[in-house]
């Protein structure tokens, strides 16, 4: 029983570290765009939230109008999953239809003099995006059961990720074989063209010298 509690504590610490690492803070200069990509699997849940850090935080002063963002979240094939213009904060949630690199782009309107906007951004996918608080309330389960459920979902996610990576590896191997085959035939074609040109040059020089009676 003690070992089970220790395992649960370790899991809680690891999950806490993962959630901490998923939060991102970055600076964005006015007139510039910053994009962040995330590899999302098909049918995987994805949630994100962002807000502009108030440079006058603690003074009771409202956020300046220069600190507004335009945000777009798009799929690998250009489908728009989230759109917001001149906002201070926002959030999004969707289930990915397409697998691949999803892009979250932040743009700050150009100002004179230039300003720097600090953004807090949190993007979670898969198991990390699940609302475990709602699961605990709905199922009326204790902390240990909740962490075990998290662990089970994490294991399932890793299992699915392994199959996903295996499929990607097979696709890359097929692409490599196709590329190698094309390069082989292209090399043969290049060699044939070079030999043909060299033969034509020899024939032309021989004909020229024969006409000039140099041979």
Q: Which two tokens stand for residue 119?
A: 């953004």
Cβ atoms within 10 Å, residue 92: 17
Strands 80-87 and 89-95: unpaired
Nearest to 102 by CA among 131, 135, 120, 129: 129
Per-residue pLDDT of the chain (215 residues; tens, 9 = 90+): 555 544 544 554 454 444 434 578 899 988 899 999 988 888 888 889 999 988 777 666 777 777 889 999 999 988 899 999 989 899 998 888 888 899 999 998 887 788 888 999 999 887 666 655 555 555 555 666 666 666 777 777 777 778 888 888 888 999 999 999 999 999 999 999 999 999 898 888 888 777 776 65
Residue appearing with tokens 């699961």: 135
Angle between helix axes 143-211 and 2-22 (nearest 10 degrees) is 50
C-alpha distances in Å from residue 162, one per residue of 155, 156, 165, 176, 215: 11, 10, 5, 21, 72
Cβ(50)–Cβ(170) below 8 Å: no
φ/ψ of 131, rounded to 5, equals: -85, 90
Task: Write down the pTM of the prediction.
Answer: 0.56
């Amino acid at each position: 029983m003690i070992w089970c509690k220790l395992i649960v504590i370790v899991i809680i610490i690891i999950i806490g570290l993962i959630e901490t690492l998923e939060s991102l803070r970055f600076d964005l200069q006015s007139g510039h765009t910053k994009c962040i990509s995330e590899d999302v699997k098909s049918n995987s849940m994805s949630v994100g939230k962002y807000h502009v850090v108030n440079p006058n935080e603690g003074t009771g002063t409202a956020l300046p109008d220069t600190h507004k963002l335009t945000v777009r979240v798009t799929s690998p094939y250009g489908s728009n999953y989230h759109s917001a213009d001149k906002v201070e904060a926002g959030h999004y949630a969707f289930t990915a239809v397409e697998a691949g690199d999803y892009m979250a782009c932040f743009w700050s309107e150009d100002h004179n003099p230039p300003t720097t906007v600090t953004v807090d951004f949190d993007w979670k996918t898969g198991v990390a995006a699940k609302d475990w608080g709602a699961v605990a309330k709905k199922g009326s389960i204790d902390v240990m059961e909740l962490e075990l459920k998290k662990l089970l979902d994490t294991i399932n996610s890793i299992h699915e990720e392994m199959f996903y990576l295996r499929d990607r590896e097979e696709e890359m191997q097929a692409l490599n074989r196709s590329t190698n085959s094309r390069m082989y035939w292209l090399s043969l074609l290049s060699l044939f063209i070079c030999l043909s040109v060299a033969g034509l040059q020899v024939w032309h020089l021989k004909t020229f010298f024969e006409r000039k009676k140099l041979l």
